[in-house]
Amino acid sequence: MPMTSRKRKLISSLSALGAALALTSASFLSQAQDAAPAPVAPVAAGAPAVTMVGELGSVPAPVLGARAWISLDMNSGQVIAAQNIDERIEPASLTKVMAAYLVFEALETKRLTLEQTVHVSENAWRTEGSRMFIKPNTQVSVHDLLQGMIVQSGNDATVALAEAIAGSESAFVALMNEEAERQGLTNTKFTNSPGLPHEEHLTSVRDMATLASNLIQRFPQYLHYYAQKEYTYNNIKQNNRNRLLWADATVDGLKTGHTKSAGYCLIATAKRDGRRILTVLVGAASDSARAENSLKLLNWSFQNFDTVKLYDNDRAMVTARVWEGEAETVGLGSTSPVWVTVPRGKADQVRPVAKYQQPLIAPLNKGNRVGEVSLSLDGHVLRTESLHVLNDVPQAGLIGRLYDKVRLLFE
């Protein structure tokens, strides 16, 4: 709306008044200027509902013979498609992904080394289920036990590692549950380290996908264990139970699981042309069914969707007006590159919709979170990202700040 002559005169008068007040109240304003500025607060707004990108594609998700499943694009962090995503299910030996996470963490913090030997207790040796066939009261290296736990899915190896880290399996399980809470795995509770059946030992495919994704991102230096096809210990050769390691050269993990009550389960991951997809499938009827269904889901996810980088972390998504600052505008963007997964061929149709704190009042520091941006396709939100200030904006001088205060009265 055009500014009237009356408004212009009022602004001019108020500006003059502000300058006069500044001269007569210099001491007070000087003290106020020296006070620490209030931090920029996040926008208090509910996040918009996110649509799984698989719902927008022209090729529907395959029909899979499983109780629950999920496909996750790790580059963008988006769930492509899922079934019974938050239903609480028995994880069986998928539990060992959390056990491995804690072992890798102990290695990184130097609480363990790969060459270190671990005492095999009677308790570890007697653990039922799949076995590495370690002998009681012997010393076995962490490197060997990791292969036994990951390649052979040895419950005995898992308990031996748990005792080495925490002193007892029960103490290790407490650490597993603490880590689950830290990662936001709200449907997960562990009662043992290998994944033996228990009515309270439960998770969901969403939680397992989050855990596996975190492990891959944080500990890439240990992923070779998951791609290892076989391991021989105590003159006993055992193959990795993940059939996809033989079926598809792009598959490099991750973990199988099976009990009578859980059915056949598989966390699978493959990397093709720099793009990584992770799938979790539980409750299949057989070993071959979990492999075939997982590969079907991986192929559908790669073939029908693109993942593209929309913004680098130094590129502004939004240019925002700044008040009381030395600059009138500032770029808002993400602190890390922003990737988005879309149906094939639709990357150029993604639109950003920003919501951020208004007015933005200087001083602003690079990295301040001031809002969020939703990336939408055909009106459907695919993902949301926090908006951060990309450059410092110092406060303007006293007259400039007073001038902007008056201008804000008419915004």
- The reply to whether 93 belongs to the active site is yes
Q: Measured between alpha carbons, how far apart are the two ends of the chain, in Å?
A: 10
Q: Are strands 318-323 and 360-361 parallel, antiparallel or unpaired?
A: parallel
**Which of 76, 96, 193, 376 is the catalytic position?**
96
**β-pairing verdict for 338-343 and 318-323:** unpaired
**Taking phi first (over 0 means left), then psi (-120 to 50 degrees means alpha), and beta for anything else, what does residue 31 get?**
alpha
What is the C-alpha to C-alpha distance for residues 270 and 248, in angstroms, rounded to an integer? Answer: 9
Contact 401, 395 (CB under 8 A): yes
Determine whether 153 is an active site residue: yes
Are 267 and 212 in contact by the 8 Å Cβ rule? The answer is yes
Spatial CB neighbours of 227, under 8 Å, sequence gap ≥ 6 = 245, 252, 253
Which amino acid, 401?
R
The alpha carbon dihedral of 384, 388, 390, 396 has a sign of positive
Catalytic residue among 71, 76, 153, 301: 153
Q: Which is the catalytic residue, given 71, 76, 93, 204? A: 93
Backbone angles phi, psi at 400, to 5 degrees: -65, -40
Reduced to 3 states (helix: H, G, I; strand: E, B; else coil), residue 65 is: coil
Q: Which residue numbers are catalytic?
A: 93, 96, 153
